Amino acid sequence: MAKTTTITFFLVAMLALNSNVLAQDQAKKTDEHDHHDHSGHAMSEDKHDHSGHSMSQESGAAVDHAAEHGTVDDHGHDHDIDHSAHDTQATEHGDMHHHHHMDHDHIMDHEGTMIMGQNLDKLPSSCKSISEEVEITVRAGRKYSKNFPGTAFAFDKQQWNVKPCAKVTFHFINEDSIRHQFMMHGLPKYLYKYGMFHLEVTGPKTVSGTIIVPGTDDTFLVHCDISHHMEKGMKAQLVVGKGGEDIPSIPGLTPYNLTDRYEAENLPKASDKSINKTEKNLISIEMTEFSNLNLKNYGMMLIGVLIGLLSIPLFKKISFRRKSD
C-alpha cells in the first residue's frame, strides 16, 4: 500500500516536472508545442529524464520506476499539466539556465540529455497498424562489460526482440558518470532523419524515447558512438520479427570481423614462488629438471636408433658393391 502511494506520488511529481518543459516550449515555439500536445510519450520520456536525474544518484529508484512504467502509464494524464514546478526544478539542477532545443526530431536539455529521431505516431509504410506497444529498459555502463573480457563498456543486454510494427519505448539508464548513447541505425529514412534514433545522457540518469519499427523482419544496429565505446563493447542489436542479418562484433553474441592475436604471457605464478621457498622443493625441482633432461636424451637416442635402422639397407648395398667389385 505504502509502495503504491509513493509510486503515485512520484508519478504526479514527474508530470509536474515535465509539464514545465512543455510550458517553456509553448512560450518558445507554439507550433512545436502542438506536436507534443498530441503525444503522450513526449511527456513520459521527460518524466523518466527527470526521475532518473533526481533519483538514480544513490538509490535504484529510477530503475524501479522505469520498470513499472509500463503498467502505470496512463495517457489520460497527458493534459493534466501543473505549471508550478519550474523553479524547484531549476534550483535542483544547480544552475538557473535551461536549454530546451526542440524541433520535430531533436530535443535537448541543459545537461545535454538528448532525444533525436523520436517517432510517436508515424506508421511505417509497411504497417497497417501498431502491432504491440513495448517498453524496453536498457542499462549502460562500465560494469556490464564485466561479463565480456576484453571490453570496457557495455549495455546490460546485447539483443532485444520486438514484433514488426511495434511501438517501442526505450528507457535508457546510464549508470556511469559520463556520457553514453543509445543510437540506432538503419531505420527508414523517410521517417527517421539519417535513419537514426538517438538517446544520449550523462549519467547517472535516465532518458526515454519512442519509435515505431518497420513491418518487415530486420535487425538494427544499436551502439554508443562516443569514440571507441562501440569498439570496446557498447554494441547491441534490435531484432524485429525474425530479424535480418546479424550485426558483427557484438560481445558474447556475434563474432568479430577482425580479431586480435593473443599469445600466452610468461606471468609469474604463485606455485613457482612457493617451490622456490623450501629446500625440499628445491630438490624436487632438481629431480624434475633431471628427469626432463633425461627425457630429452632418451628422445634423441630413439631418433638415432630409428635413423640407424633405416640406413641398414644403404650399408648393405655399399658392402655388396664392394664384394661385387
Partner 1 sequence: MPNHFLNALLILCMMLLATISQAASKLPNTVKVDPAALTTEPMCDPKISPAWREAQEIEGVKIEASPGCSPDNPAWIAAAVKGTNNISMDTLMKTGLSPDAIIKTDDLDGDGDPDRIVIKLEIMELNGRSPDFPGILPTFDIAPGIQPGAWVFAPKTSGMSTENFESVRANPLLRLPSPVIRVEVGDIVQIVLENTHYFPHSIHLHGVDHPFSHGEHGGQDGVPQTSEVELMPGERRIYQFQARQPGTMFYHCHVQTHTHLSMGLAGMIVIEENRPNNWLQTLNIGAGHVRHPSIAVREQFDQEYDLHYHAMDKELGDIIQKYNDPRLIAREMNQRYDITDSSEDYFTLNGLSFPYTLRESLIIVEPDQKVKLRLLNSGGELIAVHTHGHHATITHYDGVEHNPAAQIMRDVFDMAPAQRLDLKLETVNDGKHSYGEGDWLIHDHREKGITTNGMAEGGSMSSIVYKSYLNGSGLPKVSHFGIDLSEYFTKEYYEKRYPIWQDLDEWASLGSPGEYEGLDPITQVSLLNALYGLLIGLFLYFVFAKRQYIQQCANAAVTRLKSPKGGNQ
Interface residue list for partner 1 (CB under 8 A): 95, 97, 99-101, 108-112, 114, 141-142, 149-153, 176-179, 183, 185, 194-196, 198, 200, 202, 225-229, 231-232, 248-249, 256-260, 262, 265
CB of 183 to partner 1, least distance (A): 8
CB of 112 to partner 1, least distance (A): 4
85 vs 183, beta carbon nearer partner 1: 183
> Closest approach of Cβ 218 to partner 1, in Å?
17
The residue among 146 and 317 lying less far from partner 1, judged by its C-beta, is: 146
Q: Which is nearer to partner 1, 7 or 221 (CB)?
A: 221
CA 104 to chain centre: 26
β-pair partners for 139: 173
Indicate the residue among 38 and 189 with the shorter CB distance to partner 1: 189
Looking up cell 521527460, which residue turns up?
Answer: 46
Smallest separation, CB 136 to partner 1 (Å): 22
Q: Which helix (H) or strand (E) holds 304?
A: helix 279-310
3-state secondary structure of 299: helix
Which of 185, 42, 156, 186 is CA-nearest to residue 103? Answer: 42
Residue type, 211: I
Residue nearer to partner 1 on the CB measure, 41 or 198: 198
Rounded to whole angstroms, the Cα distance separating 62 from 258 reads 38
At 273, list the grid cell: 614462488
Listed residue (217, 95, 207) closest to 164, CA to CA = 217
Least distance from partner 1 to the Cβ atom of residue 181, Å: 8
Which three three-digit cell numbers place residue 302? Answer: 630413439
β partners of residue 140: 155, 174
> For residues 245 and 260, which CB has a smaller minimum distance to partner 1 in the complex?
260
Closest CB 216 distance from partner 1, rounded Å = 21
